[in-house]
Amino acid sequence: MEFNEEFFVALGFIIFVLGVGYLGVHTKIAAALDHRAERIKAELAEAERFRAEAAEILASFEKKKAEAEAEAAALVAQAHVEAEGIAKEAQARMVEFVERRTKQAEEKIASAEALALSQVRGAAADAAVAAAETVLTNEARGGFGGELVSKGITDLKRLAS
């Protein structure tokens, strides 16, 4: 048998494997791998727990979002109703204001017409009195004039009472 390099490499390998086996390195490696596997399982379990919590939080926030959107829609609807009510009230007040102003203007016009009519009547009466005075002064002299004056005084007394 020849002892060449391959023999020594094979002998060294066998001694190495027996030494590793004797020292229990394979059990230590297996234990380390088992420990690493358990740690990875724990991390996966924790990640799954975090994912479940995140899903719950997401569902909670989506529910809150839906509630907030519903509340916002209700507020907008209520604001529209209130705005319509305010607009109707403002319209009613405006109509009432215009009617009141129109009535006041009509009353002022009627008052002005009545005043103008009374002034015209007064002016006509003054003109008639002046004309009558002129006619009576020029034409009614003597006994006939005295009779007319006494008759006018009697008529005035009757009209005054």
Q: Where are the alpha helices (DSSP H) in 24-142?
A: 25-139
Residues 6 or more apart whose Cβ sits within 8 Å of residue 140: 148
pLDDT tens readout for residues 33-51: 999 999 999 999 999 999 9
What share of the chain has pLDDT > 90, as a percent?
Answer: 58
Q: Please tell me the distance from the alpha carbon of residue 121 to that of residue 58, in angstroms, as a whole number.
A: 92
> Alpha-carbon distance 155 to 161, whole Å?
10
Q: What is the pLDDT of residues 93-102, one digit of tens each?
A: 999 999 999 9
Query: Higher model confidence: residue 3 or residue 161?
Result: 3
Cα–Cα distance for residue pair 43/46, rounded to 1 Å: 5
Q: Kindly report whether the global pTM for this prediction surpasses the value 0.75.
A: no
